[in-house]
Chains A and B, each alone.
Chain A
Amino acid sequence: MARSAEAIDERNLAWYLDRAVRVFVFVGGISAIVLIIGIFVFITREGLEFATTTLNIKEFFTSPRWAPTSETRPTYGALALIAGTVSVTGTAMIVAIPFSLGAAIYIAEFATGKTREVLKVLVEMLAAIPSVVWGFIGLSIMNGIIIQLFNVPIGLNVLNAGVILGLMAAPIMTTIAEDALKAVPDDYRQAAEAMGATRWQVIFKVVLPAARNGLVSAVLLGVGRGFGETMAVLMASGHSINIPDSVFDSVRALTATIAAELGETAVGSDHYGALFTLGIMLFVVTFIINLTADLVVRGIKKR
């Protein structure tokens, strides 16, 4: 024992390796914090000056006229873009919530053995489909289907983007919701069954209320995903500046606007600043949504 203790004290290669790994793990651990602060500082630095000086805040939130490259009268109204993002995300949630809760309940409470394992893997695989592929499905397949089915002039609209986004958000929501259902102790189920409750009564009256916080956070994370998704929405929404009054109207999302316009915008111009202002807004909104989701989950653990 004494010899090995000496060996440990010695500053040999193992000691240096240990040190190096320790530093590496520490850097890895704090990198998330450094990155998030870095990103926040970056987008505010790029966008804040414009947002606080040139930008007409009232116009930004109340005007639907987004015309940053106009030669006669550039205006930066984000109302239509906000309406676009909200309407698409809302539709997506209407699609995704029943799907993902149903899938989660089935996987967690009913499916057993092989079925369960296969389903879990498939749901995770669904989450791995690249968003541009979803967008392509929206652009080339859903467009035609919607035109035929609803007899509307164009299939790139809120419904198309909402359905695509709902299907994209559903896997992650299913996984989180399933974890929440699994976290409900079996004692609860057994106690309820011992009282003579049926399977449905156990699920609806006992398991779902007990897992409520986890389910709410699953939905919130889905909403966050919807707000932040870019490529699929860009391709499926029609990318049209428009305040929708039905799900068959084309819209344009905040994220899609940044993606489509930033690449060809002169660095430091008003247009550039305006796009970063949209970025700040998106960042703040998704940050709040994710933070709320996190706090809600922590809520369960404290109890």
Chain B
Amino acid sequence: MAAGPIDTLFRGTKTKKMKHGKILAAVCCVALLGCGGRDGSSSRSVIQNKGSDTLVNVAQAWAENYQTVEPNVAIAVTGGGSGTGFAALINGTVDIANASRGIKDSEVAAIRENGVEPIEHIVGFDALAIFLHPDNPMDQISISQLAGIYGENGELESWTDLGTTVPGCRNQEIVRVSRQNNSGTYAYFREAVLDKADFKLGSRDMHGSKDVVDLVENTVCSIGYSGLAYANEHVKMPCVESGEGCVAPSSQTAIDGSYPIARPLFMYTAGEPEGATKDYLDWILSDEGQCIIQEKGYAPVRAVTCG
């Protein structure tokens, strides 16, 4: 009687063992395949690319497209922020550091200690557009008005303070839409518009550029800012006045420097780039590479015509 369950147990074990065997075989196969693949590609070179989150999408698109141009070069792209990229460049763990800000003196000094000079390559421009609801009658806004709306000591609280009335907006209250406090866009807006002063508390801090545009699209009283790349036809972008006439945001005005809130996007190398890295950077600055950055919504370094 008692042998019955033990028997069953044993049989159970047997089948399990067989399953294990199969899994093991499968794992072996995968491992072998993996190894085989790697062996076959020993001639490939890998470019390590790390840094700014603003640039990470573009960097990834470049890396993917470069596969078709140069299949023997693999590019590993990681984000983490401009500072992370510079730190990796200093430690020599990356070939190219992406940055949405210029290199700091301390970082230059650290790289020089390794006996090389950091080389800056401007690969594109990021223009911050101001977004308004389409019902908002404002067509232009000045940097000082923006500082009055967003800055900690700014006193502009309602659309009437700006000399306008937004139809359908109750109390004419300005609903400020901003970004979470560690985004690169937030930091750049603070630098370019608020002159490094703090933001006024009480803004709606969205977790992504697209969320900013979505909220502005659905909220009559709102104003927001984000990369020009995220604009759509449901929001309005006023031109921005900084004392030299009102300039509308576009790739063109970002390139020629007339748009006041645009920043260059950089790639840094330790020393003059050579070999595969140089070919890659040259390709990024070619028409093909520049069309990719334009497609991703940033401004290219020069006017390009894309198919």
B-binding residues in A (CB < 8 A): 1, 3-5, 7-8, 12-14, 17, 64-73, 80, 139-140, 143-144, 147, 151-156, 234, 238-242, 250, 252, 259-261, 264-266, 271
From A1, A64, A147, A252, contact of B2 by CB (8 A): A1
Task: Give the secondary structure class of B's interface.
Answer: mixed
Least CB distance from A2 to B in Å reads: 10
Is A156's CB under 8 angstroms from B13's CB?
no
Interface residues on B, range: 35 or more
Is A69's CB under 8 angstroms from B10's CB?
no
Whether B196 sits at the interface, judged by CB under 8 Å, is yes
From A7, A68, A260, A266, contact of B205 by CB (8 A): A260
Measured between alpha carbons, how far is A17 from B9 in the docked complex, in Å?
A: 9
Is B201's CB under 8 angstroms from A153's CB?
no
Chain B residue nearest to A77 in the complex (CB): B201
Is B81's CB under 8 angstroms from A154's CB?
no
From B169, B201, B211, contact of A64 by CB (8 A): B201
Among residues 4 to 29 in chain B, which have CB atoms less than 8 Å away from a CB atom of chain A?
6, 9-10, 13
Known A234-B207, A239-B204, A264-B182: A154·B6 in contact at CB below 8 Å: no
Measured between alpha carbons, how far is A143 from B220 in the docked complex, in Å?
A: 12
Is A14's CB under 8 angstroms from B182's CB?
no
Whether B215 sits at the interface, judged by CB under 8 Å, is yes
Q: Which residues of A contact B207 (CB under 8 A)?
A: 234, 239, 259-260
* Total contacts A-B at CB 8 Å: 110
Known A14-B10, A153-B175: A252·B219 in contact at CB below 8 Å: no
From A3, A152, A240, A260, contact of B202 by CB (8 A): A240
Least CB distance from A161 to B in Å reads: 12
Is A14's CB under 8 angstroms from B13's CB?
yes
Whether B140 sits at the interface, judged by CB under 8 Å, is no
Interface string of B180-211 (1 = CB under 8 A from A): 11110011001000001111011111110001
List the 9 shortest-distance A-B pairs measured between CB atoms, nearest first. Answer: A4-B2, A153-B221, A264-B182, A260-B180, A69-B181, A241-B201, A240-B204, A242-B202, A238-B204
Is A17's CB under 8 angstroms from B3's CB?
no
Whether B126 sits at the interface, judged by CB under 8 Å, is no
Measured between alpha carbons, how far is A13 from B206 in the docked complex, in Å?
A: 59
